[in-house]
Structure formats: C-alpha cells, structure tokens
Amino acid sequence: MSGRDLKDEYLDASENVRHWSNLRFAQLTVFMVITSALIAAVFQPGANSTSAIRVFTKVAGILTVIIFWITEERTMMFWRNFVKRATSLEKELGFQQYSTRPKGSIITTGNAIRLLFFALLGFWISAFFWLK
C-alpha cells in the first residue's frame, strides 16, 4: 500500500476510535437514565404499584444491566480493534499517537464501568429478593 493509502486508513481508524468512544458515553447516559427511572419506580414514596409491577420493574432492572453490560463489552471490542489497527499503522507511518498512549493497569475506564455494572446488578438482585 502507498503511504497515502496508509494515512487514509489511519485517519479512518482514528475516526472509528472516536466514534466508539462517543458511543460508549451515549450508551452510559441512556443506561443511567433508564436505571434512574426504574429505581424511582421501585422506591418512590407512595408509589401505588401492585406487587406484580414491582417484580416486573426489578426484573427490568436486572435485564437492563445485563443488556447494557453486554453492549458495553461489545463496543469496547470494536474500540480496541481500531486502536490496535491504528497502532500498527503508526509503525509504518512514523506516528506515535496510539503507540505511546499510557498503558492501563487495573485502574481503567473499562474496569470502572464493569464495577458500576457489577454493583448495579448486585443492587437489583438484592432488591428482587429483599424488597417486597
């Protein structure tokens, strides 16, 4: 491939990295709105809901966490794929934007989001069994 084609692919990979990063933020925002609404439905004082509706709401909370967690993991797979491709293109182009980025440890954005999902899954499972 010519240098121009490699640079075009690098620019596309960088654009894809931005896209998947933005999508993660948007997904998390939607997830938090849905979760907040479900929590309000279960815990709102004076809520006049039947037992069946409360059970349905708790199940919806569990399913929401699972669905968005899967979506987050899949989004991260795409993000990592494009970062990896951009990093390999940098070697041929002499760039260093991705190859010199700080390496993650146990403290990463991905792990922080996983912890959030894990905690909320635990919350909804606890609510399902202990809140009547």
What is the per-residue pLDDT across 72-131, written as a single tens digit (0 to 9) for each? 999 999 999 999 999 999 999 999 999 999 988 999 999 999 999 999 999 999 998 987
Asked if residue 58 lies in contact with residue 128, where contact means CB atoms within 8 angstroms, the answer is yes
Report pTM: 0.90
Higher-scoring residue by pLDDT: 49, 61: 61
Burial of 25 (0-12, 13-18, 19+ CB in 10 A): exposed
Measured CA to CA, the distance from residue 15 to residue 114 in angstroms comes to 25
**What pLDDT is attached to residue 22?**
98
Q: Looking at the predicted structure, is the pLDDT value of residue 53 above 90? A: no
CA dihedral 22, 26, 29, 30 (to 10 degrees): -160
What DSSP character marks residue 97? Answer: T
Query: What radius of gyration, in Å, describes the C-alpha atoms of the chain?
Result: 20
| pLDDT classification of 27: cutoffs 50, 70, 90 | very high
**What pLDDT is attached to residue 131?**
79
Q: How far apart are the first and last CA of the chain?
A: 64
C-alpha angle 96-89-26 in degrees, rounded to nearest 5: 80
Measured CA to CA, the distance from residue 86 to residue 53 in angstroms comes to 49
